[in-house]
Amino acid sequence: MKMRPGSQTGFLLCGKEWTDGEALEVRSPWDQGLVGRVTKATRADARQAVNHAVASLRRTRALPRWKRREILEDVAAALIEQKERFAQLIVAEAGKPVRQARTEVDRAVLTFKTAAEEAVRFGGESIPLDLTEGNEGCWGLVQRFPVGPVLAITPFNFPLNLVAHKAAPAIAAGCPLIVKPSPQAPFTALALGEVILKAGWPAEALAVLPLAEADTAWLAEKEDRIKLVSFTGSAKAGWALKQRSGRKRVQLELGGNSALLVHGDWADLDDAAVRTAHSAFNYAGQSCNSVQRVFVDRNIFQSYLWKVVDYAAKLGLGDPANEANDVGPLIRESEAERVESWIKEAVAGGAKLVAGGERKGSVITPAIFTATAPGMKIRDEEVLGPVVMIEPYDDFEEALAQVNHSKFGLQAGLLTRDAGRILTAYRELEVGALIVGDMPSWRLDPMPFGGVKDSGMGREGLRCAIDEMTEPRMLVMTGID
């Protein structure tokens, strides 16, 4: 990616070329300083990207598995070498605290390394077909083939690793890729595109297009040569996109208001409180699986609540470039104003604000609530901000029902050492994953990741994403000598 001294300048990547044109400004969520200007992609650019993608499919499909693995390994090596460059881009355009930004780069490295392993591992099977008289000598072979061009739509909050979760399996599967990054965080995606091309992926098979919403919708709705739409973002936008996508495959990784259950047999409340504070408030709670609802055994409720308050007060708050900080700004001041309005609404409705909740510009101090009730936005909706509610329970089964009382179902956390309760929760909770012994925000990138209900459909995680991006094709041999 071509850069100039000072602020970033990004030219959109569209099959072979870096293209200049009308510029969009990207400003820091922290201080509104100019991060840079990026070229705005047009519908003509999108159409050209699809043309390139379709033309490149035969080449990407024919890439031997060892070559796909080599490309993915080289991308991982480049990310390790350029770790600080990518971390600083994430800090600048997404406002993510720098230590967390470095962790995101580490996660992207694992994403590409795992995809490299899967590129030479996924395959097919041989099927016997001589199962009835007259079919002697018949057999079948099933292999997986790339579905075709993939449209990947990614949000601001993980501008490197969420793009990696689309790009890495696409390369492993042999699918050309068109990435539509968040308008707030395009530079990280463009820098990753540069790395992927240098690693040897065919230039025609990759585009990074900062498109307007209307043109993105046109790609999903009208461009039938796109075979899969992989979307990460809000539930409202994701389900609307699915409605417009016609016969295309659609994979949705959407929002959540993840819950944590803390039972009375959990011994280390200090550790639990520290983990809760970090899960709820790191990066100002701007993660789809950050903990938002906590249900605690009444026997330990007061002790746990005040430990969380104590540890939340110790989190570093402010400039994301400061190595000491954990909680930075929300992505836009308008988002901070929205979260502030939800906090005030809950207080007006009778909820008790135990700590935090003050806004200064785009920054909100970590807000801890109790005495909330169904119907409050901070309890029912995805806050995507530094807000957590903590409520007591008397009956474990009722607590499970409270977790399920949500239109979302991404992940849940459970702190107990009781095997029976663990198995009951695993059976009863309507979520994509149950994390025992830790927070619902726990994720290792190779694992299947996704949710049920309004939290999405399909799964990410490298092997699952490769399956989404490939389709089985059967060869039947009917007794040929």
Q: Do both 355 and 250 map to the same domain? A: no
From residue 118, alpha-carbon distances to 69, 436, 465 in Å are 8, 27, 11
Q: Under 8 Å CB-to-CB from 236, ≥6 apart: which residues?
A: none
Q: Do both 286 and 238 map to the same domain? A: no
Q: Transcribe 363-386 into DSSP letters.
A: EEPPEEEES--TT-HHHHS---SS
Closest CA to 28 of 86, 90, 98, 82: 90
Q: Is residue 479 a part of any domain in this protein?
A: no
Lookup: tokens for 91? 């800090």
Q: Do both 246 and 265 map to the same domain? A: no
In the numeric block, the tokens 């801890």 are attached to 368
Q: Is residue 480 a part of any domain in this protein?
A: no
Q: Do both 324 and 210 map to the same domain? A: no
Answer yes or no: are the C-beta atoms of 16 and 52 closer than 8 Å.
yes
Q: Do both 461 and 407 map to the same domain? A: no
Looking at residue 81, its amino acid is E
Q: What angle is formed at CA 29 by the lines to CA 28 and CA 32, rounded to 5 degrees?
A: 50
Q: Do both 20 and 135 map to the same domain? A: yes
Mean pLDDT, 10 residues at a time, the chain of 481 residues:
43 57 89 92 93 96 98 98 98 98 98 98 93 93 97 98 98 98 95 96 95 93 95 95 92 96 96 98 98 98 98 98 98 98 98 98 98 97 98 98 98 98 98 98 97 96 96 91 62
Catalytic residue among 288, 335, 391, 468: 288
Answer yes or no: are the C-beta atoms of 207 and 177 closer than 8 Å.
yes
Catalytic residue among 93, 104, 223, 253: 253
Q: Is residue 418 a part of any domain in this protein?
A: yes
pLDDT score at 466: 97
Q: Is residue 1 a part of any domain in this protein?
A: no
pLDDT score at 23: 85
pLDDT score at 130: 93
> Which residues span the domain enclosing 143?
8-254+456-474
Question: 292-314 burial by CB neighbour count: b if 16+ within 10 A, else e?
Answer: bbbbbbeebbeebbebbbebbee
Q: Is residue 135 a part of any domain in this protein?
A: yes
CA separation for the pair 480, 476 (Å, rounded): 10
Could you tell me the end-to-end alpha-carbon distance of the chain, in angstroms, rounded to an integer?
56
Q: Active-site residue 288, yes or no?
A: yes
Q: Do both 278 and 132 map to the same domain? A: no
Across the beta sheet with 8-10, the strand order is 8-10, 34-39, 23-27
Give the distance from CA 201 to its chain's centroid.
23
- For residue 474, with 0-12 CB atoms within 10 Å meaning exposed, 13-18 middle and 19 or more buried, which class applies? exposed
The CATH number of residue 388's host domain is 3.40.309.10
CA separation for the pair 188, 193 (Å, rounded): 9
Range 29-34 contact pairs with CB under 8 angstroms and sequence separation of 24 or more = 29/94, 29/95, 29/184, 29/320, 29/328, 29/329, 29/330, 29/331, 29/332, 29/362, 30/95, 30/319, 30/320, 30/321, 30/328, 30/329, 30/362, 34/7
CA separation for the pair 232, 384 (Å, rounded): 14
Q: Is residue 305 a part of any domain in this protein?
A: yes
pLDDT score at 4: 32
Q: Do both 53 and 118 map to the same domain? A: yes
From residue 54, alpha-carbon distances to 147, 150, 164, 370 in Å are 11, 10, 21, 54
CA separation for the pair 56, 37 (Å, rounded): 29
Q: How many residues does the chain have?
A: 481
Q: Is residue 449 a part of any domain in this protein?
A: no
Which ranges of 184-248 would DSSP assign to H, the alpha helix? 186-198, 213-222, 235-244
Lookup: tokens for 152? 């990947």
Q: Do both 39 and 85 map to the same domain? A: yes
- For residue 436, with 0-12 CB atoms within 10 Å meaning exposed, 13-18 middle and 19 or more buried, which class applies? middle
Answer yes or no: are the C-beta atoms of 228 and 468 closer than 8 Å.
yes
The CATH number of residue 34's host domain is 3.40.605.10
Q: Is residue 3 a part of any domain in this protein?
A: no
Answer yes or no: are the C-beta atoms of 116 and 76 closer than 8 Å.
yes
pLDDT score at 24: 87
Q: Do both 90 and 202 map to the same domain? A: yes
pLDDT score at 8: 57
Q: Do both 249 and 265 map to the same domain? A: no
Q: Do both 202 and 279 map to the same domain? A: no
Answer yes or no: are the C-beta atoms of 457 and 216 closer than 8 Å.
no
In the numeric block, the tokens 């999903």 are attached to 220
Looking at residue 112, its amino acid is F
Domain count for the chain: 2
Tell me the sheet residues that pair with 230: 152, 251
